Structure 1
């Protein structure tokens, strides 16, 4: 017809505004001049491209160099052999198929989809397993995830560390009280007694909050995963969450070496301050 079509910049802005601000697809019409259906299509294509192009690099499992750095930082913080902290986050699903209400409704009393993640001291997310219904607890999701696939296949980097003169070769993650009594997961003592047990529980709880802080920063940067999900199909929801995790890791990598203080809301809706140091890119909560 001789009319100019939408330029790629309009589609990119429409997709990024939906991810960053959590607005619906028809809310970008006035600012970008793009229809709701086209904005939703742009979002689907954008997150799919992010996953396909950058997924292998920014959602990779720790290699030899990464493992050595994580082990060194874990030992410095008092936990030799630790690779990170594990926890789950629920993303409320607004436009879910009504027939799935019971399957996806858990303790939040609303249908949700769960993200299982492992985060390190710098809030880099090394493992993201998304898609399980909200009716499952953390143990059920752990049994279904691929967190220990490389360990069981024998392809994971070997580790070796010493605690009180004893050598160990099993890496581990810090978890909360719901996780099972496995050698690969270190939990806090339920009812600590004595100064040694009380100190260990306090240190374990402080370091374990890395993954909760990662969830807070992820939701602060991408409001689409903080509010109820409006998309109805699971494949698009999976690409959106995965793309947000990938771009979160991109920002972590890009901001290393810069200092900043930002206001964020954690996954419980509580406001807090995050200070990022200039030397290691670490985030410290005030």
Structure 2
């Protein structure tokens, strides 16, 4: 809160021309956070924060722009060497050495700005990373696609591993929607520029929470699914078996 107030004096409590004390910083910051978190409209927030609708909407946009300006360099940076090694380690545990993620936007790939790494597969050394991708992407060596119609046990096993790793990345957006409900529907009420600012703010705040709470060194454990009483289907492709872990 102090950082936001220091960045933008709009959130600092002031007096009007008549000497009346204005809104406190907590009101101007809680209102945007409630809209981002609970997918509520400005009309639903005004009863809690005692603010007008126009003031709530202005606070939301100013708050998003402040978060962008302050934290975009830190929280939307490219992976560091430590982050890259952690991604490579987790990918190798899943049977994909040299894989650094599931591809959705590949501007860096088009520009040839991929990280320089080396790994060995089937006794062959490779010096470039790759991404897991859908069938709609070009047939490049950088993209590893699933087997569309697997027939043999080997193809079925590879398809299960590839689709499982790719879905883990896709589920991140579901987690983002769960934390910041405004992404699900209320964003339709804003223009394109405001939407970009809101979405960027949600991603930044989400990354801040993950960095604060997530233990990157802990061993991943897959517990029973309470809905169907079957373990999550995660395979170890490098050990030659299809036993779930």
Q: TM-score range by the shorter chain?
A: 0.7 to 0.9
Q: State which of 40, 63, 70 in structure 1 corresponds to 2:87.
A: 70
Equivalence map 1:1-286=2 (5 Å): 1-87=18-104, 142=105, 146-148=107-109, 152=112, 154=113, 156-257=114-215, 279=218, 286=225
8 Å Cα contact 2:115/2:129 also seen in 1: no
1:69-94 deviation per Cα after TM superposition (whole angstroms, max 9, x unaligned): 2111111110011111234xxxxxxx
8 Å Cα contact 2:40/2:186 also seen in 1: no
Gap change, CA 1:234 and 1:18, over 3 Å in 2: same
Gaps of 5+ in 2: 1-17, 226-245
Gap change, CA 1:216 and 1:7, over 3 Å in 2: same
Q: How many residues align?
A: 208
Gaps of 5+ in 1: 88-141, 258-276
Q: Following TM superposition, by how much is the alpha carbon of 1:283 offset from its aligned partner in structure 2, in angstroms? A: 8.5
Aligned equivalents of 1:283, 1:21: Cα separation in 2: 29
Structure 1 or 2, whichever has the larger Rg, is: 2
Q: Tell me the TM-score normalized by structure 1.
A: 0.67
1:48-72 deviation per Cα after TM superposition (whole angstroms, max 9, x unaligned): 1111111111111112221122111
Aligned equivalents of 2:162, 2:139: Cα separation in 1: 15
- What is the DSSP-based 3-state SS (H/G/I as helix, E as strand, rest coil) of the residue aligned with 1:148? helix
Q: Following TM superposition, by how much is the alpha carbon of 1:198 offset from its aligned partner in structure 2, in angstroms? A: 0.7
Aligned equivalents of 2:83, 2:217: Cα separation in 1: 20
Q: Tell me the TM-score normalized by structure 2.
A: 0.78
8 Å Cα contact 2:131/2:143 also seen in 1: yes
- What is the DSSP-based 3-state SS (H/G/I as helix, E as strand, rest coil) of the residue aligned with 2:107? coil
Q: Following TM superposition, by how much is the alpha carbon of 1:285 offset from its aligned partner in structure 2, in angstroms? A: 8.9
Higher strand share: 1
- What is the DSSP-based 3-state SS (H/G/I as helix, E as strand, rest coil) of the residue aligned with 2:65? helix
Aligned equivalents of 1:189, 1:36: Cα separation in 2: 52
